Amino acid sequence: MPLVKAGHIVEDRYVRVLDDAPIPDGVPVIVPGKRFMADAAVLVQRDGPIGVLWPNDRKVAELEPWLDQLALVALVFPKFRDGRAYSQARLLRERYGFRCELRATGEVLRDQFQFLVRAGFDSFEVKKAADALVFAAAAARYSVFYQPSADGRVPALRRRLQGAPDVRAREAV
């Protein structure tokens, strides 16, 4: 499953450590949320970047005390129709100020890319190779946005009030 960052397919540096496996030193790892929370104070002291795989039915507020020591948070889309992680992503970015890697995992498909980017994700475990190849184009399908979100784009209403030159030029219908 290709990993996309900054619009390009890249190698995944992180090792995913399942529930009971020993955690290797010196390499970036992603551990499940439950395991992380059970032993967070110790885990953040280990040698090497640590990330957490956070389930979509647990409040991200619980992660808040550890966010400045996490190199990565991975959120989950068990089905692409299950959009809980969009809310989690925005909360992490906008409310809790998380600035490191925010990764979308699970059923991550082409037609979600732009929503994911707007919600604050910046890395993507893309399910299909063909989708990963067209990431840049698919994530840029829309050039105008109506609502403020985690990507910091200026929404249409604000731009209208700022008198964007192209707005009033051709009114019709």
Partner 1 sequence: MYRYDDFDKTLVAERVAEFRDQVARRLSGELSEDEFKPLRLMNGVYLQLHAYMLRIAIPYGTLSSAQLRALAHVARRYDRGYGHFTTRQNIQFHWIKLEELPDAMADLAGVGMHGMQTSGNCVRNITTDQWAGVAPDDIEDPRIFAELIRQHVTLHPEFSFMPRKFKIAVGASSHDRAALRIHDLALRLFRNGAGEIGFEVMVGGGLGRTPFLAKTIKPFLEKRDVLSYVEAVLRVYNQFGRRDNIYKARIKILVHEIGAEAFAQEVEAEWQAIKDGPLALDPAAITEIAGRFRYPAYARLDDSPPQLGEARRADRAFDAWMGNSVANHRVPGYAIVTLSLKPEGGTPGDATAAQMQAIADLADRYSDGEVRVGHEQNLVLPHVAQHDLHPLWRALEAIGVATPNVGLVSDIISCPGLDYCSLANARSIPVAQEITRRFRNLDLQRDLGRLHINISGCINACGHHHVGHIGILGVEKNGEEFYQITLGGKADADAKLGTLIGPAVPYAQVADVVEDIAAAYIELRERPDELFIDTVKRTGVEPFKERVYAAR
Binding residues (CB under 8 A) for partner 1: these are 80-84, 86-88, 90, 95, 109, 111-112, 114-119, 130, 141-150, 155-161, 166-173
Closer residue to partner 1 in complex, CB, 45/147: 147
Amino acid symbol at 97: G
Tokens found for residue 48:
């090497």
Q: What is the CA radius of gyration of the chain?
A: 18
What is the four-CA torsion angle of 154, 158, 159, 161, rounded to 10 degrees? -160
* Closest distance to partner 1 from the beta carbon of 115 (Å): 4
Closer residue to partner 1 in complex, CB, 69/115: 115
Closer residue to partner 1 in complex, CB, 24/155: 155
Residue 117's closest CA among 20, 6, 13?
A: 6
* Closest distance to partner 1 from the beta carbon of 109 (Å): 7
